[in-house]
Amino acid sequence: MPPLPGETMAEPNLPPRSPLPNEIPDPLAEALPEAINEPAKRRVIPLVWIVPIIAALVGGWLAFSSFLARGPRITISFETAEGIEVNKTRIKYKNVDMGVVYGVSLSPDRQRVLVHAELRRDMKDVLVEGTRFWVVRPRVALGSVSGLGTLLSGPYIGMDIGKSARRRDEFVGLEVPPVVTTGLRGRHFTLRTWQLGSLDIGSPIYYRRLRVGQVTAYALEPDGRSIKVRIFIEDPYQRYVTQNSRFWHASGMDVRLDANGFRISTESLATIIAGGIAFQTPRDEETGPPSPENAEFKLASSRNDAMSEPTTGEKRYLVYFTDSLRGLSVGAPVDFRGITIGEVKYIGMEYQAKTRNFRFPVEIALYPEQMRSRVLAGRTKSDEPPPSDQLIDDLADQGLRAQLRSSNLLTGQLYVALDFFPKAGPAKVDRSRAMPVLASQPNYLGQIQDSVASIAAKIDRMPLEEIGQDLRRALQDLDDTIKRAGKVVDRVDRELAPQASAALEQARRTFQAGEQVLREDTPLQQDLRNTLQGVRRAADSLRNLTDYLERHPETLLRGKPDDPRQPEPVR
């Protein structure tokens, strides 16, 4: 492209070339100077930009280091954000800082609060299923007071590490602080009960009135029929929990009125208010080896119910009663001569179309093993008790029947008693039905009512009106007789009383005269004394004569001989 007017086109810095053979030299070109190509100069950064560049490099390094040192981030869901503050609320495990809350937001449905927290980098391995979070704040419960230290430092989020291997970064926070047992020696067990009572997390567990553990959690079963209670027994007391151990509610007071008097018992003062659980192994049962971790037991409502629980399977029987079942309830005991061997499971009503009458089926659960004697050492095989079914059949052949009896005259509560009624004759157990049927016997109260009804019927048949009329006439006659007797008494009092008074006065005078005559200083007394003395001397002479004639009976014939000692009479 030719240069524009006034422009000169610089030639490239090329080495001189030799002219061509037919080229004609240009004198003008030889007169012009040759252009020299100089290299471009290097640019120098101003000094004012050095400091910002260094600051940017340092900031980038710090940001990169902070990113590398940043711990795992998690999200915890709570019902409320009470006490939680961004960049202030800490997350602690065993009172050691493990992280901080960096954000709080609402869930998409705006029903819960999402707490975003960042933990330390070394806590990444503990974010697994089973890890629990809760807000620690001052709490006052029936059994304890917790979180008082947060009054000054403010609430914080507590943490308990789970044992699962599955990692997660989203958790549901607990509204009630749990019992932290991580790191403690002992064992966890599960109890099942139909009602929670006054139990709560942290409620104590007693063994022979010694505190050995506590309740860690509880939850309602999906079917809604029972409650699962998790407990923790501390070391070394977990070895006393065996397969034969019995657990029961130790809440409140156990009031009992029996032959020994009125008694009140409780595990401790704390259980009266906050509730508790106690366990023990029956004395007549072997303790056995300790139960493994997470073993399951039944939680009875009282110690009596727990100790009466059988260790073997139960046998269900059906009993038909015609008496009134008012006072009988499900759970009432089945008694055999003072020993509880079962309980009532179901109460129903059936209509009999043939007889046009009602009867009441009662389903009972028996524990026949409690009626069998134990097989002791040295007992032969022939001495062993028969099986459970055969035992009940043998007892029924001897007159065993079921009867309703009153356990409390004040409350009218009834229970089922098994006893022998020889006069009623043997009874067979009907095993042709799906559930065996035991024979029943009318209760004593019913018999008394029948007797009273029979007496009332006899009284109703009596001619009470005629008897009343006869009784009225008899009372009238008796009234007339009493009036006549009153008249006779008045006449006697009017006519005979003065004469009786005179006779009494005459008798008194006679007695006075006799008293004067019989005094010691009277002549009659002196004469009587002399007469008695003469009579005594005559009696002595007669006694001497009798003694002499007994010695000398011949005197009656010959006469009394002369006494040689006596001098002869003077002639």
pLDDT at 432: 85
CB-based contact 137:158 (threshold 8 Å): no
Contacts of 83 (CB under 8 A, 6+ apart): 89, 135, 137, 154, 155
Give the CA-trace dihedral at 292, 296, 302, 304, to 10 degrees: -70
Determine the residue type at 460.
D
By C-alpha distance, which of 270, 291, 158 is closest to 215? Answer: 270
Q: Is beta strand 156-160 parallel, antiparallel or unpaired with respect to 113-119?
A: unpaired
Amino acid 535 reads V
- Answer positive or negative: Cα dihedral of 162, 167, 172, 173: positive
User: Does the structure show a pLDDT above 50 at 258?
Assistant: no
pLDDT over 50 (residue 387): yes
Per-residue DSSP letter, 242:
B
DSSP-derived secondary structure letter, 409: T
Task: Provide mean pLDDT across the span 148-160.
Answer: 75
Higher-scoring residue by pLDDT: 304, 386: 304
Whether the Cβ atoms of residue 367 and residue 336 lie closer than 8 Å to each other: no
Residue 451 CA from chain centroid, whole number? 41
Q: Say if residues 232 and 184 touch (Cβ distance below 8 Å).
A: yes
Q: Say how far apart CA 119 and CA 202 lie, in whole Å.
A: 28
Neighbour tally for 239: CB within 10 Å: 13
Q: Which residues lie below 8 Å from residue 321, measured CB to CB, with a gap of 6+?
A: 359, 360, 362, 402, 404, 440
Q: Which DSSP symbol is given to 34?
A: P
Q: Calculate ∠ Cα 373-374-378, nearest 5°.
A: 120
**Residue 281 in contact with residue 208, Cβ under 8 Å?**
no
pLDDT at res. 33: 65
Evaluate the omega torsion of the peptide bond into residue 561 and state whether it is cis, within 30 degrees of 0: no
Give residue 6's pLDDT: 47
Q: What is the pLDDT of residue 405?
A: 87
Taken in order 517, 518, 522, 524, is the CA torsion positive or negative?
Answer: positive
User: Which DSSP helix (H) or strand (E) runs through 361?
Assistant: strand 357-366
When pLDDT is averaged across residues 201-216 and rounded to a whole number, the result is 88
Token pair 């002549």 in the structure block, residue: 523
Is the predicted pLDDT of residue 311 greater than 70, yes or no?
Answer: no
Residues 227 and 196: beta-carbon distance below 8 Å:
yes
**Res. 377 pLDDT band, cuts 50 70 90:** very low
Q: What pLDDT sits at residue 115?
A: 93
Phi, psi of 187 (to 5 degrees): -140, 150
Judged against a pLDDT cut of 90, whether residue 233 lies above it is answered with: yes
How sure is the predictor about 338, in pLDDT bands with cuts at 50, 70 and 90? confident
| pLDDT of the residue at 375 | 42
Highest mean pLDDT among 58-62, 161-165, 178-182: 161-165
User: What is residue 77's predicted lDDT score, i.e. its pLDDT?
Assistant: 93
Is residue 310 within 8 A of residue 236, CB to CB? The reply is: no
Give the residue with greater pLDDT, 168 vs 376: 168
pLDDT attached to residue 230 = 92
Chain mean pLDDT for the chain: 77
How much is the pLDDT for 263?
Answer: 57
Among 56-70, 134-148, 377-391, 509-523, name the one with the lowest average pLDDT.
377-391
Contact 314, 336 (CB under 8 A): no
3-state helix, strand, coil in the chain (%, to 5): 30, 25, 40
Residue-wise pLDDT for 270-285, tens only, equals 556 557 899 988 776 6
Give per-residue pLDDT as tens, 8-20: 444 445 455 555 5
- Is residue 172 within 8 A of residue 130, CB to CB? The reply is no
Nearest to residue 214, comparing CAs of 194, 173, 193, 184? 184
Range from 8-12, 160-164, 457-461, 556-560 carrying the lowest mean pLDDT = 8-12
What pLDDT is recorded for position 39? 66
Residue with tokens 């403690």: 184
Model pLDDT, residue 225: 84
Give the residue from 340, 337, 270 showing the smallest Cα distance to 300: 340
**464 pLDDT tier (thresholds 50, 70, 90):** confident
pLDDT value of position 191: 94
Residue 302 — φ and ψ, nearest 5°?
Answer: -155, 170
- Look up residue 110 and give its DSSP letter: S
Q: Which of 83, 138, 77 is nearest to 110 (CA)?
A: 77
pLDDT for position 533? 85
Integer Cα distance of 339 and 39 in angstroms? 120
Q: What are phi and psi of 305, to 5 degrees?
A: -65, -40
pLDDT band at 376 (very low <50, low <70, confident <90, very high): very low
Q: pLDDT: is 441 or 180 the higher one?
A: 441
